[in-house]
Amino acid sequence: MKTILTVIGKDQTGIIAGISQKLYELNINILDVSQTIMGEYFTMIMLLDLNKIEQPFDEVKQTLTVTGEQLKVKVNLQREEIFDAMHRL
Handedness of CA 31, 57, 20, 38 (dihedral sign): positive
Angle CA(32)–CA(76)–CA(43) in degrees, nearest 5? 60
pTM of the model: 0.88
Q: Write out the chain's pLDDT in tens, 89 residues.
A: 999 999 999 999 999 999 999 999 999 999 999 999 999 999 999 999 999 999 999 999 999 999 999 999 999 999 877 656 666 65
The neighbouring-strand residues paired with 49 are: 2, 29
The neighbouring-strand residues paired with 41 are: 10, 38
pLDDT at 71 (0 to 100)? 98
* The 29-38 sheet, strands edge to edge: 29-38, 41-49, 2-10, 74-79
